[in-house]
Structure 1
């Protein structure tokens, strides 16, 4: 079994709970309160700033030119492609990027990003991959499920661009690239190191759930 498959088995039950979360389901059927989505967008925008910094730490610690290019592309994708969806929605809410930067991180956002940055500062490439991967991978997992479930009603759904972004072929390719990278990095590691890496992956997955809870106001 590939290490990525072992990781997925560890969090599958939790990730399936993401799909049943009222915030996620509200995006899918279009019933989510827009004020909740606005709060989410602001916090996720602030989150992505630090998320990109974690990728940057991966770039610093990369050992090959191939890995460096991989992290460069990830930084670009986060700062340009992913934030563009947020920016378009924020314009709808009358918010500029500069105004969003003036907001403070919620406790959950700060706790999550500080955890990732701590791992990135102290850890190696494998540990950095573990802490960032649940976000990218689970967002595709969610986006694909929402697209498959609600494709017949997307045209009238306010959240259509969000669903299309995270279910897109491009985002799937991004997630798969990281899955393959994890399998490459962890091909011959010890059982003890596997357990340590799984712990990081699980903790970041738990933070993802807390982020959905925070966004919904639970």
Structure 2
């Protein structure tokens, strides 16, 4: 599905937002806007994983999805703490208005989950899960990026560290097993389209941050 997404995938993982973040030149306003919206995104992502649990059939698969759900709940207080370091308190996070890009992305994932099966929903969830790992690893091991005194070092390390990558491997493993159960050659194009659409919505999520920093409406 990643290969099928083609240029859409590369537009996502190599977006100008990520390029500027890597260089340390991303405007603070862009990053703070992204952080606040990402908190709202995570709350809906948790809802999507809760829905995924109900879509799965085996206890083992349900446990795997529940582990991902719990990881999101564990991440939320860490996200709140990290946002506080950037001057965004918990009240601001919980009362922030959702941007159209946040609404479009999260509701798309939830709609796929409600209207489709576990394979459809996993296809909508994975661009975020796997894409952040690809971005985090690329930045963490980039020879030209020096993380000492880098303004976004904590963010880069978070998505390239072993704990996050273990969760990604688990999610990919679940996807593979569900595909073996429910996937067919005839279904590939449909689930790949879901994956690509979610990828496009990820790209718009990055652009949302840049637009906010430039004073542009979304």
TM-score, length basis structure 1:
0.90
Residue 87 of structure 2 corresponds to which residue in structure 1?
94
Would the aligned equivalents of 1:133 and 1:201 in 2 still touch at CA under 8 Å?
A: yes
Residue 147 of structure 2 corresponds to which residue in structure 1?
154
Would the aligned equivalents of 2:132 and 2:159 in 1 still touch at CA under 8 Å?
A: yes
Corresponding residue to 1:37 among 2, 10, 31: 31
Would the aligned equivalents of 1:28 and 1:150 in 2 still touch at CA under 8 Å?
A: no
* Equivalence map 1:1-218=2 (5 Å): 7-81=1-75, 83-149=76-142, 152-187=145-180, 189-217=183-211
Aligned residue pair count: 211
Shift of 1:149: 1.3
When structure 1 is superposed on structure 2, of 132-141 and 177-186 the one drifting more is 177-186
When structure 1 is superposed on structure 2, of 171-180 and 145-154 the one drifting more is 145-154
Which is richer in helix? 1
Shift of 1:89: 2.8
Would the aligned equivalents of 2:12 and 2:200 in 1 still touch at CA under 8 Å?
A: no
How much is the aligned-residue C-alpha RMSD, in angstroms? 1.7
Residue 9 and residue 64 in structure 1: after superposition, are their counterparts in 2 closer, same or farther (change >3 A)? same
Which 5+ residue runs of structure 2 have no aligned equivalent? none
Distance, in Å, in 2 between the alignment partners of 1:182 and 1:20 is 24
Distance, in Å, in 1 between the alignment partners of 2:210 and 2:9 is 17
Which 5+ residue runs of structure 1 have no aligned equivalent? 1-6
